[in-house]
Amino acid sequence: MPHSIAIKDQNREVRIYGARTVLAILIVLGCLGIVLMRYFSLQITDYEVYKVQSERNRVQLQSLPPKRGLIFDRNGVLLADNRPSYVLSIVSERVEDLEATLTEIQTLLPISQSDLDNFRKKRKWSRAYEAVPLRFRLTEEERARLAVNRYRMPGVVVDARLLRHYPHGELFSHALGYVGRINERESYDLDEEDYRGTFHVGKVGVEKYYEDILHGDAGFQNVEADAHGRVLRVLERHNPTPGTDLTLHLDIAVQQAAFDALGDRRGAVVAIDPLTGGVLALVSTPGFDTNLFVNGISSVDYSALRDSPDVPLFNRAVQGQYPPGSTIKPMMSMAGLQSGLVTPETTVPDPGWYRLPGDSHRYRDWILRIRGTGHAPEVDMHMAIRESCDTYFYDLARKLTIDRMYDYLHPFGFGERTGLDTTSERRGVLPSTRWKREARAQPWYPGETISAGIGQGYMLSTPIQLAMATSVIATRGVRHPPRFVRSINDELIVIPPLEPIVTEDAYWDAIYGGMRAVVHENKGTAKALAKGIQYEMGGKTGTAQVIGIAQGEIYKEDEVDERHRHHGLFIAIAPLEAPTIAVAIIVENGGGSSAASPIARKVIDTWLLGDAG
């Protein structure tokens, strides 16, 4: 049977071809329309948007952090400066795979876990396109290693920065304070424009108190960069305004003498120029190397400082609150004179103890355990200061009452912050009946007045308060608030004195005479200081109990744990005819004033004679 032959339908093929042609034309026209619409969008409707994006890829706005102000001592010795250092940072938005980039960097140079942790914390709250620091203080070898491999790591930036440096480390740790990396909370509090591009801020001490003027004002520049972020040229630049330089009253020689004299003991020394209130030395030991905090202290180093039983981070000079002990007795004497309750010639019987009327409890004088009796059958003010007679001041305290003691001691600066230009100063405790009701919800008892009369019980003072009170004695009532800063950009800063203590010169003469006798008379409690001395000094020894001693028991230092031993205190002014220095010292658990008084001699020798002895 023959095969059938298919006949072409030319009309159908023509129709199919025509339809395909029309479809192809429509597709081409559609694509062309899309291109035209996109072109119209790029060049007309959204031109400005894409122009800005293009400029951002080519032109970058870079912040220029200001140079932090320098800090000098009174003689021009540099205490805080800025040293150039290379910093490795990452702009996360320019990195395709951040973790891979971090791994790559770690193959080139050491990156600690602390560095990584700080980087990730900072990155969480940093601004877009902000370079986040990863490593500070790169060596030349590390810079070279990064430069060779940088083409493989877009977004990685190495630039030169000025970083804070403290040439004397621990010596001024508590006086100056330190700067540290800006944390998340601080980033919200600080001015965004002024701190753009800045990694550090003052954390404590003078560095924090004067942050506003030390920091300066940030600048900026527009730069043209290539696809890898390398700067090709600077298009526009507005220079930053550097921070203000500070000159302090601190004297490095006096500071060093106080630091060396304290040695490895826990304690504090504050020396003040009574004529101005300028702080010549402020030492708290142990201290710490402030440079550890600048770029983020390691967890190991911080734990060692935080967990040390000697609490080196604690500024004993302004935060330590101690019973002032017998160092309060010159001020108590002035309270007695001003109130009219005693004269310099008034005497008190001293059997070695004191008893309130109608009370069988005996308040012992310290001399009782040594002599078995008092200082003398009758004790006047001169002897009471010279030999630190407790019985005399027990009787004076009872006559004054606690509220009048408050009224007379408060002008010396006890019970309130001195206003020193630093951070974290505490106010101490100057007790009164009102204070006890508000603080303890309890009434005041007469026996508590007796303890307060010799600087014990509830009474607490900081070393800076004790130094200010001593300087008030040195000026015969003129009250200068203590200050660190002497001049700002070479402009001398003068702080007006507070309302003075106005009283008779004869009263000041009596206080001076008693304090002179402490050092220069045979029965003075600090007579050992007079050996070889080239000037006259007025002083007062003090001992503050750390643990209570029961009635009838005897304190035996050798049998007491070292941290339960008495604190040793000493205050001094010199030269006595016209004092230019007032010193307050505490040696924690030193056993008594003999641990503190030699330190005063070394500090004052350095100030007056230029010799630490």
The string of DSSP codes covering 127-190 is PTTPPEEEE-S--HHHHHHHHHHGGG-TTEEEEEEEEEE-TTGGGGHHHH-EEEE--HHHHHHS
Residue 93: exposure state from Cβ atoms within 10 A (0-12, 13-18, ≥19): exposed
Q: How far apart are CA 313 and CA 288, in angstroms?
A: 7
Helix/strand/coil (H/E/C) assignment for every residue in 245-266: CEEECCCHHHHHHHHHHHCCCC
Annotated catalytic residue 41: no
Identity of the amino acid at 179: V
CA distance 605 to 601: 6
Q: Which helix or strand (DSSP H or E) is residue 407 part of?
A: helix 402-409
CB-facing half-sphere around the CA of 23: CA atoms within 13 A: 6
Cβ neighbour number for residue 554 with a 10 Å cutoff: 10
> How far from chain centre, in Å, is Cα 159?
30
Distances (CA, A) of 565 to 262, 265, 463, 560: 17, 13, 19, 6
The catalytically annotated residue of 126, 173, 284, 326 is: 326
470 by Cβ neighbours in 10 Å (0-12 / 13-18 / 19+) ranks as: buried
Query: Which residues, at least 6 apart from 282, have a Cβ–Cβ distance to it below 8 Å?
Result: 174, 175, 250, 255, 268, 269, 270, 271, 317, 318, 464, 484
User: Residue 204: in which H helix or E strand, if any?
Assistant: strand 200-204
Per-residue exposure over 398-418, b if at least 16 CB sit within 10 Å of its own CB, e if not: bebbbebbbebbebbbbbeeb
d(CA 551, CA 572): 32
Q: In angstroms, rounded to a whole number, what is the distance separating the alpha carbons of residues 465 and 485?
A: 18
Q: Is residue 246 within 8 Å of residue 485, measured between CB atoms?
A: yes
Three-state DSSP at 200 gives strand
Helix, strand, or coil (residue 537) = coil
- Rg (C-alpha) for the chain, rounded Å, is 37
Strand duo 200-204 + 178-181: pairing:
antiparallel
Q: Enumerate the active-site residues.
A: 326
